[in-house]
Amino acid sequence: MQEMILCKLGEVVLKGLNRRSFEDKLISNLRRRVSKCGNYRVYSKQSTVYVEPAGDDCDLNAAFDACRQVFGVVSVSRALPCGKDVRAIIETAKTYLSGELSTAKSFKVESKRADKTFPLTSIQLSQQVGGALHQAFPNLAVDVHEPELTVFLEIRDDAAFVHGPAFAGAGGLPLGMGGSAVTLLSGGIDSPVSSWMMAKRGVALEAVHFFSPPYTSEAAKEKVLRLAKELTPWCGRMRVQIVPFTEIQEEIRRKAPEDFFTLIMRRFMMRIAQLCAEELGAKAIVTGECLGQVASQTMEALRCTEDVVSLPVLRPLIGMDKEEIVRLSRKIGTFDTSILPYEDCCTVFTPRHPKTKPHLDEVRAVEAALDAGALCAKAMAGREFVRIKL
């Protein structure tokens, strides 16, 4: 028997009559991810997805890393199957985990007996295997409370499995089970994190980026495409719609009071995001807004910006502080790119004293000087579409 990967399900196991559809989606997502690492057989049994090499070209290290980034998987283990008898389990543990057993100072054995026809209880199996390992590796002391190494045994229908500690998976729900949404992707820290958080809830994403040449450079656009690339291991294949925004911003500067610049700009972004979403059949708009972080993110300002759309606006970062957002940004691998010093259209024509508590009627009256429909239609017509693959 050969080494394989065990992926344990998270929230999926709590589903009712529709659980099978969640599992099928998860298996499909796993198959797609590990297909780049070789030929694997991916199947589900007893709340576990098995990723089993089916050829000689398999890179198990790469497949293991890929499985850890698939939403819906709560933990991932590399395991070696063996026959369902105590001698085979002991010998497998001694050889498969010999390196860890030789260097650890303390250990314990934990057993899970999913196959209830197995003649020993979980405690009896742990005792027998633990005793044999203690004898074979005299450097080990038994510590059932805080062991340096835990040896895991799983007795399942097809075989027994031996493995060391599991590694955390991505958690959440399988991508695609939460519907689809348009996410506003800037070059900052927040929007990649908000995109990741919604993908974790099973939402498939299409990114929209607002580009304002000559005020923002090609390097700034490439930075955003790089961020999208860094999100794809988590979010899957993604398309980025790059929307020309210069004319809208210049028109706002000509016809609106300075303190309203950012508010009106955000309203145009939301209008265009909804047009993109309706075109795709997406059901929501995702933003990286965080309450009180900047002037355009007060309660009053948020009310004004979402006034122009009818779709739900999802703000997964709304109650987080910057340290939490930065920590997540580092975890998902976007932080270093986010802090590169390139321009962002949100910083173009930034007012010296922006409105923090705007009144909706006042904002609507100011905006009436602009032909919103024509400006949005022209921006939509000038879009560039970039497909981002793994």
Q: Domain ranges in the chain?
A: 4-168, 180-388
**pLDDT over 90 at 389, yes or no:** no
pLDDT at 1: 78
The CATH architecture annotation of domain 180-388 reads 3-Layer(aba) Sandwich (3.40)
pTM: 0.92
Q: Degrees (nearest 5) of the Cα angle 309, 314, 317? A: 135
Mean pLDDT of 21-28: 96
Residue 220, H or E segment: helix 218-235
**pLDDT over 90 at 202, yes or no:** yes
Contact 113, 155 (CB under 8 A): yes
Please give the structure tokens belonging to residue 202: 């099973």
In sequence order, the 6+-apart residues with CB closer than 8 A to the CB of 295 are 262, 301, 354, 355, 356
Mean pLDDT of 83-107: 96
pLDDT at 80: 97
pLDDT band at 354; cut points 50, 70, 90: confident
pLDDT at 293: 86
Residue 360: CB atoms within 10 Å = 11
Helices 60-67 and 19-34 pack at an angle, to 10 degrees, of 140
**Residue predicted with more confidence, 158 or 241:** 241
**pLDDT over 80 at 350, yes or no:** no
Phi and psi (nearest 5°) for 357? Answer: -130, 65
- Residue labelled with tokens 């196959």: 115
Mean pLDDT of 260-280: 96
**pLDDT over 80 at 351, yes or no:** no
- The span from the CA of 264 to the CA of 82, in Å, is 65
pLDDT band at 14; cut points 50, 70, 90: confident
Contact 253, 348 (CB under 8 A): no
Lowest mean pLDDT among 10-19, 58-67, 226-235: 10-19
pLDDT at 135: 95
CA distances 201 to 204, 209, 239, 331, Å, are: 9, 22, 19, 17
Burial class (CB in 10 A: 0-12, 13-18, 19+), 31: middle
Name the class of domain 4-168: alpha beta
Strands 149-155 and 180-184: unpaired
Please give the structure tokens belonging to residue 321: 């502080």
Task: Return the half-sphere exposure (C-beta side, CA atoms, 13 A cut-off) of residue 179.
Answer: 13
Please give the structure tokens belonging to residue 170: 């991505």
Is 180-388 in the same CATH topology as 4-168? no
Question: Per-residue pLDDT tens for 300-337?
Answer: 999 999 999 999 999 999 999 999 999 999 999 999 99
pLDDT band at 352; cut points 50, 70, 90: confident
